Structure 1
Amino acid sequence: MQYRNFGTTDLQVSEVGFGAWAIGGDATIGSTAIGWGPADDATSKQAIKAALDAGINFFDTADIYGLGHSEELLGAALQGSNVIIASKVGNVSRNDQFTVDYSKEHILSACEQSLKRLKRDVIDYYQLHTARVQHLENGACIEAMQLLQHQGKIRYWGISLNTFDPFPEADFFLNNNLGSGFQLVLNLINQRSLSLVKNAAARGYGIIARMPLQFGLLTGKFSVDSHFEITDHRRNRLTPAIIKSSNEALQNTWELCNKYQVSKTQLALSYILSYNQVSTVIPGIRTPEHVQLNTSGLVKLAPEDINFIEREGQATLASLLSVIEKQG
């Protein structure tokens, strides 16, 4: 395992981290699935151990994952381990409804609950979970994060972005010199964040690349006949039309797997890590096999192949957006 600086902080993170959304299990809010279907806790703990054995030291979770269960599992499995834990706050379930709360009171209270579940005295990196500009302009969430840092309950903080270019929330952070990092989408078919990655890293921010496999699309394992459990959020996201369009559009990109003698997953992760501005990439992991698939066989891609991937990625994203628009 290789390690990278998380911006200008003193955190040294494994270049492949552990995305801990899926181990939260098949939680729902009302009738809305917020998980990845059923997960076996014993298997999840084995996956965490395998990750430690593979040199992974960065674990990314959120209090909404499994409605706290993801944090509980990490707390139980990582107690006493010298690892870096990142969590998130702001997405909540109230009265069987999904909503957000970026008030100072909620963030301070939620942090205490996360610390208890994680069995830790401090969270290494705490993130506003998809806060929008209006929340940042209100200022309460920023005040809360700064207070938690002053109290020593979090070491560093930042934001997990859920918007795309021109990234107004990131601009707010950069313009006001806030926080220490960004979590954002970057993968073979979506490179809209690349300018932000380069700009933010140059300013000293750590970068966490999420959705590296686009909910599994970039593993190549899905077909139009793939079935997702009713408690799996991908049931409504990875429709047969999306899977078909994606698989067809990626054919040219997958030819690089033969050139480098790697799997589709390895190509997808190697592409992201070809940018040294990326601190860590966080594929979702729920089994020991996932650890092996996501940490082995990573390669250095030639510049011409990176350029090729990005040209193809732009076309693929346009193709997928066209399908989504037709679905209404």
Structure 2
Amino acid sequence: MTPVPRRYLNGLNAEVSAIGAGCWTIGGPATNRGTPIGWDDVDPDAAFAGLVHALERGVTLFDTADVYGLGRSERLLGQLLRVSARQDLTISSKVGHFAGTARHAYHPVQMRAQLVTTLDNLGTDYIDIYFLHSSDFGPHDRYLPEAVELMRTWRTQGLIRAVGMRAPHRFAEEWAASDRPQAAETRRWLYLFDQVRPDVLASRYNLLSPLYADHETDIFRFAHRYGVGVLIKQVLGQGLFLHTGTRPDQRQFSPCDHRSTDPAFTPDNRRQLHARLAPLRDRYGHNHVSMARVCVQYALHHAPDAAILVGFRDASQIDTIIASLDHPLHADDITQIQGVLHANPDTY
């Protein structure tokens, strides 16, 4: 198999593996103030074996969060740090969603407590990238100034190396001055970006992400202009793109699995997606490796300066992702994929 390539990540100013292990999927089922946020059917031993296997195959980027499994994901990753060279790995985690107390998630007391807990869970004394996981900073952004100041202080102290921030799923800078439905969200995000001045962004990009006009500044162009790195998430559509059976995915999810309330996983949406991807399965292959190849290579081709985060739950899934590196897509493949999937505007 092709070795996992490395990419220079702006903002962090360091090389990382082009494919990173997204560790949300190994946190297991969980709820946060009654909202399902987890994943069913996680075997911690198999998940840890997957982490070890990813490292052995050349993955050096691992992304987790305090809220993934309410600490279980971080603790599993901490087991890996105990048997590996910390300086060779890039670890990102997040703060801003976990509702473990009556305080707001960005209350400075809560943020300090969460950082201490995350460092303890991971068994490390620093985090490479620490993300502001939510854009809810309280009424009238009450906690925004202190949250920004804390992040900058921690970066200066060496507790974190880079400040991260989430980007909108759909973004073009020019929308802020338009009458599009996304105008208010775009203006809000640009305001937060100016306040936070992050080093790294996390952005969703996959087969169904919108195509932008030449005059539009998408999140990758925007990040490049400001010297900011990008980690791409949901490349596999949270696994939806990999289903290759003759019928749509029919799985049912527990009340602690986020997919139980995610509109993308309703039976109707799964049927529509299954039909929409049929031409790609016919062209590239009716198996998980073939579809993973399309998903991974599509994202890598679009954003040569970014790294992608891919979820997994065992070593075999890591191998599926890494096998996708063996056969890059070419320009005509990209054009064909876009022609098939974007003949009409999507709402994914």
Q: TM-score, normalised by structure 1?
A: 0.87
Tell me the residue number matched to 1:309. Answer: 337
What root-mean-square deviation, in Å, do the aligned CA atoms of Structure 1 and Structure 2 show? 2.8
Whole-angstrom CA distance in 2 between matches of 1:136 and 1:306: 45
Matched, 1:253 2:276: no
SS of the aligned residue for 1:107 comes to helix
Residue among 19, 43, 46 paired with 1:43: 46
Tell me the residue number matched to 1:325. Answer: none
Whole-angstrom CA distance in 2 between matches of 1:84 and 1:136: 32
Tell me the residue number matched to 1:216. Answer: 239
1:133-185 Cα offsets, whole Å, 9 max, x none, are: 86499322211110111121101111023553254455236545812111011
1:228-259 Cα offsets, whole Å, 9 max, x none, are: 3333211232111011011111223334415x
Whole-angstrom CA distance in 2 between matches of 1:249 and 1:136: 44
Contact 1:47–1:285 (CA under 8 A) maintained in structure 2? yes
SS of the aligned residue for 2:98 comes to strand
Whole-angstrom CA distance in 2 between matches of 1:144 and 1:286: 33
SS of the aligned residue for 2:132 comes to strand
Contact 1:102–1:135 (CA under 8 A) maintained in structure 2? no
Residue among 198, 209, 222 paired with 1:190: 209
Matched, 1:206 2:233: no
Contact 2:10–2:227 (CA under 8 A) maintained in structure 1? yes
Whole-angstrom CA distance in 2 between matches of 1:3 and 1:254: 29
Whole-angstrom CA distance in 2 between matches of 1:254 and 1:137: 47
Deviates more, 1:126-135 or 1:270-279: 126-135
Tell me the residue number matched to 2:127. Answer: 123
Q: Alpha carbons of 1:232 and 1:205: their partners in 2 closer, same or farther (altered >3 Å)? A: same
Residue 224 of structure 1, CA deviation = 4.8
Residue 31 of structure 1, CA deviation = 4.4
What amino acid maps onto 2:50 in structure 1?
Answer: A
Deviates more, 1:39-48 or 1:155-164: 155-164
Residue 279 of structure 1, CA deviation = 2.0
Whole-angstrom CA distance in 2 between matches of 1:219 and 1:136: 42
SS of the aligned residue for 2:302 comes to coil
Residue 43 of structure 1, CA deviation = 0.8
Residue 30 of structure 1, CA deviation = 5.2
SS of the aligned residue for 2:156 comes to helix
Contact 2:28–2:41 (CA under 8 A) maintained in structure 1? yes
Q: Alpha carbons of 1:40 and 1:70: their partners in 2 closer, same or farther (altered >3 Å)? A: same
Whole-angstrom CA distance in 2 between matches of 1:199 and 1:149: 23
Equivalences for residues 218-233 of structure 1 within 5 A: 218-221=241-244, 223-233=248-258
Whole-angstrom CA distance in 2 between matches of 1:120 and 1:111: 11
Tell me the residue number matched to 2:144. Answer: 138
What amino acid maps onto 1:230 in structure 2?
Answer: P
SS of the aligned residue for 1:18 comes to strand
Contact 1:27–1:34 (CA under 8 A) maintained in structure 2? yes
Q: Alpha carbons of 1:173 and 1:131: their partners in 2 closer, same or farther (altered >3 Å)? A: closer
Whole-angstrom CA distance in 2 between matches of 1:311 and 1:184: 23
Contact 2:26–2:42 (CA under 8 A) maintained in structure 1? yes
Contact 1:90–1:129 (CA under 8 A) maintained in structure 2? yes
SS of the aligned residue for 1:111 comes to helix
Contact 1:57–1:83 (CA under 8 A) maintained in structure 2? yes
Q: Alpha carbons of 1:278 and 1:220: their partners in 2 closer, same or farther (altered >3 Å)? A: farther
Q: Alpha carbons of 1:199 and 1:255: their partners in 2 closer, same or farther (altered >3 Å)? A: farther
Whole-angstrom CA distance in 1 between matches of 2:187 and 2:136: 8
1:249-303 Cα offsets, whole Å, 9 max, x none, are: 1223334415xx9611111011000034442111111100110011113233222
Aligned residues: 317
Q: TM-score, normalised by structure 2?
A: 0.82
Contact 1:38–1:231 (CA under 8 A) maintained in structure 2? no
Deviates more, 1:308-317 or 1:194-203: 308-317
1:53-109 Cα offsets, whole Å, 9 max, x none, are: 1100000000000001110110112224331100000002247x9x96223332222
Equivalences for residues 1-328 of structure 1 within 5 A: 1-29=4-32, 31-79=34-82, 80-81=84-85, 82-94=88-100, 101-132=105-136, 135=141, 138-162=144-168, 164-166=170-172, 167-168=186-187, 170-172=189-191, 175=194, 178-191=197-210, 195-221=218-244, 223-237=248-262, 238-258=265-285, 263-298=290-325, 299-315=327-343, 318=346, 320=347
